[in-house]
Amino acid sequence: MGYMRISFLSRVLGFHTNATVILPSDRPMAEGQSLEEACRIGERFPVLYLLHGGGGNAFDWPRFTGVERYAEERGIAVVMPEVGATSFYSDMVHGYPYFTFLSEELPTMMETLFPIGGSREKRFVAGLSMGGYGTLKWAFRKPEFFSAAAALSGSSLVMEIFDQGFGSSAEDDKCSMVNLNWGGLEKLRNSPDDTRYMLDRIGENPSAYPALYVAIGTEDPTYEYTGHFMDYAKKCGIPIRYEEGPGGHEWKFWDAFLPRAMDWCLSEAQKQKE
């Protein structure tokens, strides 16, 4: 298993950022095969782009979960990027273009450097909390890129949460998360970053989008909001694989459900190939 921590200059962001990359074990050399032949890039590994939560970074998943072991057991690569801690994977109005970095620059760089991805059926995205929201947004904005997307503790109708005051969304708080990311609540409402808007559009043609998976802990403080999200998705006619289990908004839950999400992504990709 290859495990790499990478620091690189992002042309989109204008500064150095980090990523963690996990690659499955090298393919064994066939009998009579030369070293040159063995080193040529042939079949690409499936890849999971795995997003961190609010306040996190590129090293969270390897620190707090068994992601390296799970990837090795399943023969898939994992790319874990890093964005601003409260950016919500957005092209910030007052900040940096993190979504453009995530959805355009990052995969181009990673799939050039490593034998991963290369086609829709070999790409998946998942994330926790803020990264779950980023997962839904990436899958919605770039539906041709992924075959499956899994949000762990990160599915809600975001306007519902922000309307409750999460993120200090008051208009006079110029440094609030909502104002920095979107320029205010009304700029977010009914925009492509609004999850209700996403579900409305996906509901018009669900088959054009990646298969969706949602998981939440029954003790998670966002459990109620996830229920509202799932109810609205059902109203829109969107098939979503839903699972829940004991746990809160915590690594114990995410570590338990990450391999389940990986298995589901792989099975969905296989279905789409058949």
Per-residue model confidence (pLDDT) at position 274: 73
Task: Look up the pTM and report it.
Answer: 0.93
Q: What is the pLDDT of residues 196-252, one digit of tens each?
A: 999 999 999 999 999 999 999 999 999 999 999 999 999 999 999 999 999 999 999
Residue 1 has what pLDDT?
Answer: 79
User: Would you state the pLDDT for residue 76?
Assistant: 97
Percentage of residues of the chain with pLDDT beyond 90 = 83
Residue 126 in tokens:
């998942």
- For residue 273, name the pLDDT band (cuts at 50, 70, 90): confident
Closest CA to 233 of 213, 265, 203: 203
pLDDT > 70 in the chain, percent: 90
Domain 2-24+43-273: top CATH class = alpha beta
Q: Is the pLDDT of residue 145 over 90?
A: yes
Residue 125 corresponds to which tokens in the numbers above? 């995205």
> Rounded to whole angstroms, what are the CA distances from 254 to 104, 148, 184?
27, 18, 31
Confidence of residue 170 (pLDDT cuts 50, 70, 90): low
In this structure, the number of other CB atoms found within 10 A of the CB of residue 241 comes to 16
Q: Where are the domains of the chain?
A: 2-24+43-273
